[in-house]
Amino acid sequence: MLHGASRRCRAQLPLVTRETSIRTPRYVPRVTAPASFELVDVVAGPPGAPILRSITLTVPCDGILAVAGPSGSGKSTLLRLLNRLDDPTSGSISWEGRHLDEWDPTELRRRVAMVFQRAPLFPGTVRDNFRVALPDVSEDRAAHVLEHVGLPTEMIDQPADRLSGGEAQRMCFARALLTDPGVLLADEPTAALDVAARHTVEDLGLEIAESGVPLVWITHDTEQLRRLADHVVVLVDGAVTAFGHLDELDEHPDPTIRELVGAPA
């Protein structure tokens, strides 16, 4: 049973599968939940040595989609494509029915917010960091997002470089939420944190998803994946090799997929 799914309605996703050990026809993962992103035949990376190869994927707009796969499989590249930090070399990506290149990049990044593995801090106070995202942020709005991420409101005037690792990452989640994003991308946001801070940020991710903001969350931690995921996409060698609910992927015929999602032995 998925930890996050026990508190949220799960859309019914069909299991899709492609063996990693043999070449099989490319498949198109499909979902019945409303789509947040649509990727069609997306290729990204240097010509002749693409990082992502012919990615066709529908990202559901509810709960947490965990992105799993070995190092170098293209997980971070996928996330960077979703808010146009990078552009594909071919194929198309749309969000809310519009191709990404039709969005103003600044507006897109306000609506498709991103949190990174290491919290990027700007000079000055927490308030100054908030103003990077929302220059006219009000006192009430700043207090609201601090409370949302479990930080004291008096922290607003604290120098950002004095925050602990866990506090800094939660501040970055708060900064991302200031623009009322439609989706939040998280690139291994707990990788640099200790165990206590990691669990705090995981709980925050669940709360954000429960509030109606879906997340796309990269993780190498199979225990974390099993605590958070409503849906899972597995990337291997730049290609989607599996997509579905965790309980379905636990029964995947490919042992590599089962290992990548931490399936019980």
Residue type, 113: A
With DSSP H G I counted as helix, E B as strand and the rest as coil, what are the percentages for the chain, rounded to 5?
35, 25, 40
User: What is the arithmetic mean of pLDDT over 249-259?
Assistant: 94
pLDDT at 102 over 90: yes
User: What is the arithmetic mean of pLDDT over 39-62?
Assistant: 92
Global confidence as pTM: 0.84
Query: Residues 174, 176, 181, 185: is their CA dihedral positive or negative?
Result: negative
Domain ranges of the chain: 4-13+27-260
Q: What is the pLDDT of residues 68-94, one digit of tens each?
A: 999 999 999 999 999 999 999 999 999
Instruction: Give the pLDDT of residue 25.
Output: 33
Q: What is the pLDDT of residues 217-243, one digit of tens each?
A: 999 999 999 999 999 999 999 999 999
**Coil, helix or strand at residue 10:** coil
CA atoms within 13 A on the CB side of 187: 20
Beta-sheet pairing, 112-115 with 35-44: unpaired
Determine phi and psi for 235, rounding to 5 degrees: -110, 135
Residue 169, both tokens: 């990452």
Q: How far apart are CA 165 and CA 115, in angstroms?
A: 14
4-13+27-260 topology per CATH = Rossmann fold (3.40.50)
